[in-house]
Chains A and B, each alone.
Chain A
């Protein structure tokens, strides 16, 4: 637990954002937005970076492949744009906001495990040009997402 918080602190320091220490295992970063399907998004002007959260990577297990979308492809909020393959399962990655894909993390083709070891930093998946900045308001902030994860885990 302490090691994970230390990792999160380093990530937060690099990204110049603050974090919330939680009593549960998964890490949630403040200043990011979150979807109920466990993707995170960092918005910077009219560009956004996506990935899957620490909660998601922890529950998926070792990621062995990431199916990335083509550049220029449109993505829609809530719709699948790619997939993450872990042992025994392929899981859709859903877009937290709508836009056009302007960059994909090609490093994941060689090192898919970055999604596990660095879900908020080196394990980012795609960057998009936003088509509707207002959509981000439908997403959860870090406190809401933390609570959402706790409630989900408590049910099972």
Chain B
């Protein structure tokens, strides 16, 4: 039994951190630290991001700009016992969670490894799995500029359902389907059906983490080129 479990309700505890405009690199560094150095469960919602000197960042087939919404879930394996620590199992769980969020709103589904409305992708996700914990990180495509999207090349690895469509035919804007505040509220509510949520500010996080050596960093252009041939879902900076 996890020490985080609240005896009376039987739900494991999860810390909820609501960020607004936090730079994406800072968010990823925080997530790495929480995954590796904390033993708590965490839900991080970053409502928009600050790209500093960049106007946008490429995260696989999703263009990240200041309007992108990020939701990350960091879980102890024992607190989600129905989920095996493998990508398909984690995504099946997260897919069912977001099904609750979009229930009655849009034709949402997890298709291969993507979140889609119909057959159009609106969210990119990635997992990092350790021995006893895992993180599921999602970038939700709130809106995008067609001209920025034109910078993206067709990745070497594509899902079958993409059917050679170019980016503008393959992705869609989340803002066309749901209000921003409604999405955040419904996501927190859906997470709250499986965890007892406790909201924490950034300042309150330090006490719950051990010492940690950061490995998340911005890639150089050469590293970027190497990684784009490997996978769709690695954070990149251009």
Whether chains A and B associate is yes
Tell me if B129 is interfacial: C-beta within 8 Å of chain A. Answer: yes
Partner of A59, one of B89, B126, B131: B89
CA distance A155 to B164 in the complex (A): 38
Q: A87-B87, A89-B126, A155-B81 are in contact. Are A80 and B131 (CB under 8 A)?
A: yes
Contact mask for chain A residues 62-75; partner B; CB cutoff 8 A; 1 contact, 0 none? 00110000000000
Interface size on B, residues (CB 8 A): 24
A43-74 contacts to B (CB < 8 Å): 59-61, 64-65
Tell me if B161 is interfacial: C-beta within 8 Å of chain A. Answer: no
Residues of A within 8 A of B83 (CB): 156
What's the dominant secondary structure at chain B's contact region?
loop
Asked whether, in the complex, the Cβ of A88 is within 8 Å of the Cβ of B113, the reply is: yes
Asked whether, in the complex, the Cβ of A88 is within 8 Å of the Cβ of B131, the reply is: no
Asked whether, in the complex, the Cβ of B82 is within 8 Å of the Cβ of A156, the reply is: yes
A-B contact pairs, 9 of them (CB 8 A): A59-B88, A59-B89, A64-B230, A78-B131, A87-B231, A88-B231, A89-B126, A91-B87, A156-B89
Using a CB–CB cutoff of 8 Å, the interface residues on chain B facing chain A are 81-91, 113, 125-131, 157, 230-233
Instruction: Give 6 closest A-B pairs by Cβ, nearest first.
Output: A89-B87, A89-B127, A59-B86, A91-B129, A64-B230, A88-B113
Using a CB–CB cutoff of 8 Å, the interface residues on chain A facing chain B are 37, 59-61, 64-65, 78, 80, 85-92, 94, 152, 155-156
